[in-house]
Structure 1
Amino acid sequence: MTEVPDWLDRLATQAQRIRVPRYLRPPDGAGRAAAVLMLFGEGPLGPDVLLIQRSTRGRRHAGQPAFPGGGVDPDDGGPVAAALREAEEETGVDPSGVHVLGTMPELYLDRSDNRVTPVIAWWREPSAVHAASPHEVDSVERVPIAELVDPGNRVTLRHPSGFAGPAFQVRGMLVWGFTAMVLDTVLREGGLERPWDPTRVEDLPQHVIDLASRG
């Protein structure tokens, strides 16, 4: 069992005050309630975060790295319970070893019409994880924070629409879109970000575009 690190405690304390970019603010009355679990822990290489690689066979967000999560069901009672349930279903994580610290403001994914609540948590007692739902998840990774903040792993990714946003190239994954924007915010607000070159711009690979175009 490990204690919550100071940076994560500070982040959770100010989480509800984090400024949400206009393009991620939910429109009035729009979207289905959803939640994702941002689960941070202490791994062999220092602090890390749990990410999944969504199945390439999926209809939405196919093949994309993401936080575990999904829709809030009526029986969940809210986003925290939904995030823990989905994380257990997708990765096998034991919720009893997870210490929930707080939530960020809702963020809107227009692609899937979801109002997503990021749930910030500390992995108090880590458990084994795997792709527990193969039809939804191809793989599960505990990605070290040190690799995420490494300037050599960071890039600005340009979508064919012209929109450009932060991305991370780690563990054979290209983390982009919603997940990368949230990670970028968390690393910055947590005081973990290292200087990197945002003018290093790359185009979103065609095979990633093809997968993302499904649904």
Structure 2
Amino acid sequence: MHANHLFPDLPHDFPGQNVDLAPDNAPVWMRRLMNRIEEGHLRNPLAGAEVTGTTDAEKQAAVLMLFAGSATSFDLPNDASVLLTHRSPTMRSHSGQIAFPGGRIDPEDINAVDCAFREAWEETGLDRRTATPLAQLDEVHIRATGYPVYPVLGHWHSPSPVAVISPDEADEVFDAPLYDLINPDNRLMVGWREWKGPAFRVADYVIWGFTGGLLSAIIDQAGWAHDWDTDRIYDLENTLARSRNNERLR
């Protein structure tokens, strides 16, 4: 579903535009992260969590990790945030999860960046002209499906209005403040069966799995992290039951 069908005041997407990475345009407070990516420290951002899966071109996907914050700040700015969605509990896959905007790469998409921006527009109404694509991380295979997902990192230099565009896909769109995410009180390790991984609490939601792992890797490599308790493992099912996720494990 396209953004302008439900919100006619939101701009149309601009497919094929703004699809080239521009790492030199990263704000100063993201430069350490960019250097770590260039040095290969995020070559495998979910090491130990992903699986070897299909490389079927028809089942590749991309997500947009879009960070906002003052471009003039040398340190992590007070207004730093990341764009997230809450997937509708009625979705067939990953229902109730907090996720980055994203989805399957279409044949019409020029590359993963084009896909990530298109999906963000379809889900949130994001105007891709207000953001700069900075880097594309190596593919990560989702444990549940084995399908490759390409994370695209961007800076939202001129935040534009966003909203729930397709309620069947996402029922909330919000900017998660980075200072809330890096607060040690909001970070935790969760486990389910043999799996365990980092998670976050924000706005009464729990961010875990693919999204939680990527956020944790980004925060750690960027040098934004504070010491937090990585020894205690919280039961994921109980943790989700006390959250707003409305999510059931399968």
- The runs of at least 4 consecutive aligned structure 1 residues that moved more than 4 Å come to 206-210
Q: In the alignment, which residue of structure 2 is the partner of 1:38?
A: 65
Counterpart residue number, 2:50: 24
Distance in 2, Cα, partners of 1:30 & 1:203: 34
Residue 205 of structure 1: SS of its match in structure 2? helix
Q: Which ranges of structure 2 fall in alignment gaps of 5 or more residues? A: 1-24, 71-76
Match of 1:58 in 2: 91
Shift of residue 57, structure 1, vs aligned partner = 0.4
CA–CA distance in structure 1, aligned partners of residues 128 and 246 of structure 2: 34
The answer to whether the Cα contact below 8 Å between 2:65 and 2:151 also exists between their aligned partners in 1 is yes
Percent of residue pairs bearing the same amino acid type = 36
> What residue is the counterpart of 1:188 in the other structure?
220
Report if the CA contact (8 A) 2:89-2:246 is conserved: no
Aligned CA-pair RMSD: 2.1
Q: 2:33 aligns with which of 1, 11, 23?
A: 11
Question: Which structure's residues are more often strand, by fraction?
Answer: 1
After superposition, what is the alpha-carbon deviation per residue over 1:148-177, rounded to whole angstroms, capped at 9, x for unaligned?
110000111011x22111000111110001
CA distance 1:71–1:13, shift in 2 (3 Å)? farther
Q: TM-score, normalised by structure 1?
A: 0.90
Q: Secondary structure at the match of 1:46?
A: coil
Cα contact 1:13–1:102 (8 A) shared by 2: no
Q: Which runs of 5+ in 1 are unaligned?
A: none
Query: Of 108, 113, 117, which aligns to 1:84?
Result: 117
Equivalent position to 2:174, from 141, 150, 155: 141
Aligned-pair CA distance for 1:124: 1.2
- Measured after TM superposition, the shift of residue 101 of structure 1 is 0.5
Give the aligned partner of residue 119 of structure 1.
152
For residues 112 and 133 of structure 1, do their structure 2 counterparts lie closer, same or farther at Cα, with a shift above 3 Å needed?
farther
> 129, 144, 163: which one pairs with 1:130?
163
How far 1:25 sits from its partner (Å)? Answer: 5.3
Alignment match of 2:108 (pick from 69, 75, 100): 75
Whole-Å separation in 2 of the counterparts to 1:209 and 1:127: 28
What amino acid sits opposite 2:224 in the alignment?
L
Give the structure-2-normalised TM-score.
0.78
2:248 is equivalent to residue 198 of structure 1 = no
For 1:211, give the aligned amino acid: R
Q: Radius of gyration: which is bigger? A: 2
User: How many angstroms does 1:13 deviate by?
Assistant: 4.1
